[in-house]
Amino acid sequence: MNQPNSQPASELMLRETASQTAGPYAHIGLALAAAGIPTRDEEIWNEMAKPDAQGEHIDVVGTVIDGNGDLVRDAFVEAWQADANGDYQPDYDLSKPFNNFGRTVTTFDHGSEWSLKTVKPGGVAHPGGKMMAPHINLSVFARGINIHLQTRLYFEDETEANRECPVLSRIESDNRRQTLIAKREESEGIVRYRFDIRLQGQGETVFFDF
């Protein structure tokens, strides 16, 4: 029953500012080198792990593919992951050997692949009590994406942990679960995980709401 002058609780909150696409030129604001403009002394970029970071050093690479199967060459991707011990240390500091946060882009160069230099994350506890399998949270922004898409990258060689992961288990379709598993490659002693993000259609990547 609404009393006079009573408001639903939702109206006592401010409304979140609405999202808009990052547009075709996001790189000039968020990835200066990729836009071909001078960089500042410190940029937030894709070297999350320096050589002295603790843990297994890996490269993570991938493409972003649209509903026609074409490469998206103007995507901006943000990564957030635990360190090798499964901890999140929010403090971003370029003097540290490892930062949990990174940014990368796709352009017309480098085969339109994004890439991150990082370490393999440790497992993180789920509030339900179980451990989540090692994963990297990725957010995808681009022209044509009205509100960023949030996904998770898991590792194909973590079969056991992936099977037990309470978040992966929430995805009913096994075929869809597979879209979150990065494939391991090794060349010249560098371990690389490949994770192609399919925005739409065949093999569409799972995106989360949280």
Partner 1 sequence: MTHDNKRYVERDRNWHPPAYAPGYKTSVARSPQQALVSMQMPTASELTGPDFTHLRMGLHDNDLLLNFTHGEGLPQGERIMLFGRVMDQFGKPVPHTLVEMWQANAGGRYRHKNDKYLAPLDPHFGGVGRCLTDDQGFYRFRTIKPGPYPWPNDMNSWRPAHIHVSVTGPSISTRLITQMYFEGDPLIPLCPIVHTLKDPLAVETMMGRLDMAHSRPMDCLAYRFDVVVRGELQTFFENQ
By CB under 8 A, the residues from 17 to 46 that bind partner 1 are 17-30, 32, 35-38, 40-42, 44
Counting contacts by CB under 8 A, is residue 143 touching partner 1? yes
Q: Which CB atom, from 58 or from 135, has the smaller least distance to partner 1? A: 135
Q: Which stretch binds partner 1 (CB under 8 A): 50-58, 110-118, 186-194, 199-207?
A: 199-207
Sites for partner 1 among residues 175-194 (CB under 8 A): 176
- Give 83: exposed, middle or buried? Use CB within 10 Å, 0-12, 13-18, 19+: buried
Q: Which CB atom, from 51 or from 128, has the smaller least distance to partner 1? A: 128
Cα dihedral 154, 157, 162, 168 in deg (nearest 10): 30
- List Cα–Cα distances, 147 to 10, 61, 127, 141, 143, in angstroms: 22, 23, 27, 7, 10
**Lookup: tokens for 16:** 């979140």
Q: Is 35 helix (H, G, I), strand (E, B) or coil?
A: helix
**Lookup: tokens for 19:** 């999202």
Q: Which CB atom, from 56 or from 88, has the smaller least distance to partner 1? A: 88
Residue 166 C-beta: closest distance to partner 1, Å: 8
Instruction: Please state the length of the chain.
Output: 210
Total residues in contact with partner 1, by rule CB under 8 A: 81
The answer to whether the CB of 155 falls within 8 A of the CB of 118 is: no
The one among 59, 156, 157, 171 contacting partner 1 by CB under 8 A: 171
Counting contacts by CB under 8 A, is residue 204 touching partner 1? yes
x-marked contacts with partner 1 along 89-128 as a string, rule CB under 8 A: -xxxxx----xxx----------------------xxxxx
**Lookup: tokens for 22:** 């990052």
